Amino acid sequence: MRKADEQGFREFAAANAASLRRTAYLFCGDWHTAEDLMQSSLMKMYMAWKRIKDLENLIAYARKVLLRTWLDEKRRPWRRAEQRDGELPDAADATVDPDTTSAKLWARELVHTALLQVPPRQRAVLVLRYFEDLSVAEVAVAMGCSEGTVKSQTARGLATLRAIVEKLDNSSGRVAS
Amino acid sequence: MSEQEIREGMLLAVWDEPPLDFDPDKLIRRVEQKKSRRRALVAVGVATAMIAVVSLSLPGLLPRGDDSQLAADQPVVSSAPVNELTRKKAQRIGDRLAEQLSARMTNLKDVSATLDLGAVYGYPPYAPTTTRKSSDPKMSGYVFLTDQIGPTALRVEAVENGSPTRSTCGGAIMCRDVKQADGSLVTEAEFAEGGPDISRAEAVRRFGNGYAVTISSHNYNPASGSGLRQTVPVRVEVLTALLMDESIDWE
């Protein structure tokens, strides 16, 4: 690869790595896996950089690669699965604001528990639509499906998520809004 | 739960993300290593496939003999077994000669023979020459014997292109061709070399293909060059009988 192209990729990767990792985290629910997914996606893009460097919306292409990488990873029968049977240390965090703690904990619960119970493609649609703020057409391009499918997947995903959140709220005594 | 709440929940979920330790250069190096590994793997795969194809197709491309063995331009036979077999044959001929001579001349003792490939000279140890020339005989050696005078020997020599009769007869006091029953010709010759007694008797059997065997008897021991005596120990008729013995396969 030419030095100029390599520099172009370097700049793109440095600018979008964090954003891609966040999206990957919402897909998989684990920061380590998210980092692996982000790096795998960027490696794939580097190998195809000569062909894709002139695309109009490179970040949309990157999201598409990330989504495909995550779905491929999920399909693998030997996929790594973290054993979550350990106990986290119960230590106080002096930096937290008590006013926002409740909301943050609820959000983390939302992601870790509720969103991870939504089927993968519906979860991907919800993340792209509500976290990345993409239009239906952009999500359709990223998902490689029609806009109608995006709409139906969004509706089903929201219904599934609401049902799970309601169930979680009922079990924790929190009133669903 | 509204869509806005979902949106805010997702944003809050990534609020406490761990610090990102990302180095694009490191990633590029990893990709390049992966690419070179893949190239090496492809090269190894292609080389393996080519070797497999060549090894499978080569026997089909080479001509085959009737026995389905790979045919070479010339049959590959190591020289050692041929020499071994021919040497054995020469020794067998020598053994038969010694037996037949003992049977025909009962006054002889200690009859033995040393025949080998090529030119055999000298006594002892009658070793054949290590380097063979085109002029060398095909087989040569001695038949050792001891009579009432003492030990001596007959000279035996086989050549592929025997000399004509007239060259054998040069200087002979007696020389004749004796036609044998099997069609071969035996030349008998006796030489006096100026003396009153026969100093050398010689019988030459010539085969149709040019192969010729000579047995000669001398008034000295040809194996040692010494042991001069008055006349030859074995007469030419006996030499002819030895040459014509059916139990000896000369060719």
Q: Between these two residues, A82 and B179, which has the higher pLDDT value?
A: B179
Give the tokens for residue B74. 């010339």
Total residue count of chain B as it appears in this document = 251
Average pLDDT, chain B: 80
Per-residue pLDDT, averaged over B64-86, amounts to 48
- pLDDT bracket for residue B76 (50, 70, 90): very low
- Choose the closest CB to A46 out of B8, B10, B31: B31
Q: Which residues of B touch A4 (CB under 8 A)?
A: none
Helix H or strand E encompassing B91:
helix B79-104
What confidence tier does B118 reach under pLDDT thresholds 50, 70, 90?
confident
Q: What is the DSSP string of chain A?
A: --HHHHHHHHHHHHHHHHHHHHHHHHHHS-HHHHHHHHHHHHHHHHHTHHHHTT-S-HHHHHHHHHHHHHHHHHH-TT-------SPPP----TT--HHHHHHHHHHHHIIIIIIHHS-HHHHHHHIIIIIS---HHHHHHHHTS-HHHHHHHHHHHHHHHHHHHHHHHHHHTPPP-
Each residue of A47-67: pLDDT tens digit?
Answer: 999 888 888 888 889 999 999
Percent of chain B whose pLDDT exceeds 90: 14
pLDDT at A42: 93
pLDDT of residue B83: 47
What is the mean pLDDT of the segment spanning B221-239? 88
Q: Span B52-57, mean pLDDT?
A: 86
CA distance B26 to chain A (A): 10
Q: Is the pLDDT of residue A128 over 70?
A: yes
Is the model's pLDDT at B138 over the cut of 60? yes
Lowest-confidence pick of A21-25, A64-68, B137-141, B235-239: B137-141
| pLDDT at residue B131 in the model | 57
Interface of B with A (CB under 8 A): 1-3, 5-18, 20, 22, 24-25, 27-28, 30-31, 34-35
Query: Percent of chain A scored above 90 by pLDDT?
Result: 37
Q: What's this model's pTM, rounded to 2 decimal places?
A: 0.49
**pLDDT value of position B75:** 47
pLDDT tops 90 at residue B56: no
Which token pair is B1?
């739960």
Q: Rounded mean pLDDT of B20-32?
A: 87
Nearest to A17 among B7, B11, B20 (CB): B20
Which sign, positive or negative, has the C-alpha torsion B17, B21, B25, B31?
A: negative
Structural tokens at position B119: 């030119």
Could you tell me which residue, B37 or A75, shows the higher pLDDT? B37
Task: Kindly list the domain boundaries of chain B, sorted by start residue.
Answer: 18-68, 80-243
pLDDT at B111 over 80: yes
Confidence of residue B164 (pLDDT cuts 50, 70, 90): low
Q: If pLDDT is split at 50, 70 and 90, which confidence band does B194 have?
A: confident
Contact B34 A106 (CB under 8 A): no
pLDDT the model gives residue A175: 42
Most confidently predicted of A70-79, B133-142, B153-162: B153-162
pLDDT band at B68 (very low <50, low <70, confident <90, very high): very low
Q: How confident is the model at residue A75, as a pLDDT? A: 79
Mean pLDDT of B149-173: 80
The C-alpha of B54 sits at a distance from chain A's nearest C-alpha, in angstroms, of 34
Tokens in use for B174? 């007696």
Q: Which domains does chain A have, with CATH numbers?
A: 1-78 (1.10.1740), 99-177 (1.10.10.10)
